[in-house]
Amino acid sequence: DAGVIQSPRHEVTEMGQEVTLRCKPISGHNSLFWYRQTMMRGLELLIYFNNNVPIDDSGMPEDRFSAKMPNASFSTLKIQPSEPRDSAVYFCASSLRTGDEKLFFGSGTQLSVL
């Protein structure tokens, strides 16, 4: 099993540009999570999906952030327009079911907004 796959590994963009982060969860996992990690705020849950349906997006910081899961094997996190304060490492994780099981994390996307 290849694990959770995220792309790109690194993204450098200019303020105002659209950024799209991608995630492929582990096959057979029903829950998918997007986290953001910064030194100041630690690991924050942005949104999670169960069976491709968004369950809780209360962690999404602003309307500039949106996430989709069109099928069981793919999810995107989009930031439009991006701002320097969005610079962080964004992690995708999946689990067999919501929360009560261990999470499998991808390697993350290091986002730098200049």
C-alpha distance across the termini of the chain, in Å? 36
Q: Does 93 bind other proteins (CB under 8 A)?
A: yes
Q: Of 16-24, 66-74, 75-83, 106-114, which part binds other proteins (CB under 8 A)?
A: 106-114
Contact 76, 22 (CB under 8 A): yes
Q: Does 25 bind other proteins (CB under 8 A)?
A: no
Task: Please identify, using beta-carbon distances, which residue of 74 and 104 lies nearer to other proteins.
Answer: 104
Shortest spacing between CB 21 and other proteins, in angstroms: 14
Q: Is residue 86 helix, strand or coil?
A: helix
Q: Does 52 bind other proteins (CB under 8 A)?
A: no
Q: Does 74 bind other proteins (CB under 8 A)?
A: no
Beta strand residue intervals within the chain, DSSP E: 5-7, 10-13, 19-24, 31-38, 42-50, 53-56, 65-71, 74-79, 88-95, 104-105, 109-113
Q: Does 106 bind other proteins (CB under 8 A)?
A: yes
Q: Does 91 bind other proteins (CB under 8 A)?
A: yes
How many whole angstroms separate alpha carbon 81 and alpha carbon 14?
Answer: 10
Type of residue found at 26: I
Shortest spacing between CB 72 and other proteins, in angstroms: 20
Residues forming the site for other proteins (CB under 8 A): 4, 33, 35, 42-43, 45, 48, 55-56, 91, 93, 98-108
